[in-house]
């Protein structure tokens, strides 16, 4: 006989049950809602758009009313993804979005871990509401004010979490080609084409299941990656030729781009996607950064690392950002030159320890 003070289940079993409960609560929340709103972070990337479009198509299939609101513009190479024609941008439709938020009774946060990631103004609209909130995300340190979470920092992407939610909530039969194309786009881009360590056996298993549904992986790859403008390629050439700063002693490389340099190359959103990975691909480099100055003079930063150097912690500590162990974002408002100087100082401090 088992004494009653002992837990009848192992830790792993308890985890699986806790996750199943979140899937079930999320599904019931969708079925019980009238107006569902899905949101994602500003400057939406492939995973932000892929995961929101996958969830939108699934919720629509359940016969529920659902709208996707993004804070601002998203890259042109994602415009082919099924459902994107229904996306509403906050920055160009503020009044409409205000009304949509007020009328909604269930709000999803996809691919971000704290409301401020949607930008200051949209954040205000979404803050302090008396509505059910659900987070689906894989970034570290999720905010605590949500009703339910589908959250796993080890998942390759939010798109993978959306797939698992649909599949494990008993709705695998509803996953069609449109949902696959959206979610695969998110998985493909967030794993750097299946090379980042977050890529798991489950990631590949999901892709296998998607291919059985009819997903054409080379078609999606072409639509996303063989879609360069000549301006983007020339910007890349310029960056690699003249803007790559390599510090062999620190095993570090970084790139700075001024607003003027971007304007000179007819910069479009998404054009610098992947640039930071070129810096990381130098033999021996363990830490890379891309610093981009925007029109107002503030600087957006992308960090990448290899191995156990924690760029989430680095970005959080010094550049008001965060993300994952090996990939994170940050911001700086002290100007491009001063930011570069600060980056070097902090890198020397941390890396030469």
Question: Residue 171 in 3-state DSSP?
Answer: helix
**CA gap 221, 216 in Å, rounded:** 9
CB of 39: closest distance to Mn ion in angstroms?
14
94 Cβ partners below 8 Å, 6+ apart? 121
Q: Is 47 in the site for Mn ion (CB under 5 A)?
A: yes
Residue of 39, 111, 279, 321 that binds Mn ion (CB under 5 A): 111
- Using the contact rule CB under 5 A, the part of the chain among 76-84, 100-108, 150-158, 222-230 near Mn ion is 150-158
Structure-block tokens of residue 282: 């130098």
Residue of 87, 101, 169, 190 that binds Mn ion (CB under 5 A): 190
Q: Which is nearer to Mn ion, 52 or 288 (CB)?
A: 52
CB–CB of 189/47 below 8 Å? yes
CB–CB of 29/149 below 8 Å? no
Structure-block tokens of residue 28: 């019931």
Q: How far is CA 138 from its chain centroid?
A: 8
Q: Which is nearer to Mn ion, 157 or 302 (CB)?
A: 157
CB of 190: closest distance to Mn ion in angstroms?
5
Question: Residue 69 in 3-state DSSP?
Answer: strand
Q: Is 137 in the site for Mn ion (CB under 5 A)?
A: no
- Using the contact rule CB under 5 A, the part of the chain among 1-9, 24-32, 108-116, 169-177 near Mn ion is 108-116
Q: Which is nearer to Mn ion, 252 or 290 (CB)?
A: 290
CB of 250: closest distance to Mn ion in angstroms?
28
- Using the contact rule CB under 5 A, the part of the chain among 27-35, 47-55, 177-185, 224-232 near Mn ion is 47-55
**CA gap 282, 73 in Å, rounded:** 32
**Footprint of Mn ion (CB under 5 A):** 47, 111, 157-158, 190
């Amino acid at each position: 006989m088992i004494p009653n003070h002992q837990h009848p289940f192992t830790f792993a079993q308890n985890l699986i049950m806790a996750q199943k409960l979140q899937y079930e609560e999320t599904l019931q929340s969708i079925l019980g809602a009238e107006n569902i709103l899905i949101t994602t972070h500003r400057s939406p990337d492939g995973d932000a758009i892929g995961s929101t479009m996958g969830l939108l198509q699934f919720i629509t299939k359940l016969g529920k009313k659902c709208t996707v609101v993004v804070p601002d513009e998203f890259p042109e190479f994602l415009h082919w993804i099924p459902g994107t024609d229904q996306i509403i941008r906050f920055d160009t439709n503020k009044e409409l979005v205000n009304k949509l938020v007020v009328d909604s009774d269930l709000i999803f946060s996809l691919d971000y871990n704290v409301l401020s990631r949607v930008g200051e103004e949209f954040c205000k609209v979404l803050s302090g509401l008396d509505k059910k909130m659900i987070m689906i995300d894989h970034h570290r340190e999720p905010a605590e004010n949500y009703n339910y979470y589908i959250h796993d920092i080890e998942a390759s992407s939010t798109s993978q979490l959306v797939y698992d939610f649909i599949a494990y909530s008993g709705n695998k039969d509803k996953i069609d080609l449109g949902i696959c194309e959206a979610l695969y786009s998110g998985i493909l881009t967030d794993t750097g084409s299946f090379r980042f360590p977050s890529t798991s056996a489950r990631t590949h298993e999901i892709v296998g299941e998607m291919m059985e549904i009819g997903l054409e992986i080379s078609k999606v790859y072409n639509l996303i990656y063989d879609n360069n403008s000549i301006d983007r390629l020339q910007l890349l050439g310029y960056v690699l030729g003249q803007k790559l700063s390599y510090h062999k002693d620190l095993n570090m490389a970084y790139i700075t781009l001024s607003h003027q340099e971007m304007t000179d190359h007819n910069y479009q959103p998404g054009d610098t996607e992947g640039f930071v990975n070129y810096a990381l691909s130098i033999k021996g480099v363990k830490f890379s950064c891309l610093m981009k100055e925007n029109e107002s003079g503030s600087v957006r930063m992308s960090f990448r690392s290899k191995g156990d150097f924690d760029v989430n912690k680095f970005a959080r500590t010094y550049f008001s950002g965060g993300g994952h162990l090996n990939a994170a974002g940050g911001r700086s408002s002290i100007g491009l030159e001063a930011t570069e100087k600060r980056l070097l100082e902090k890198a020397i401090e941390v890396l030469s320890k």
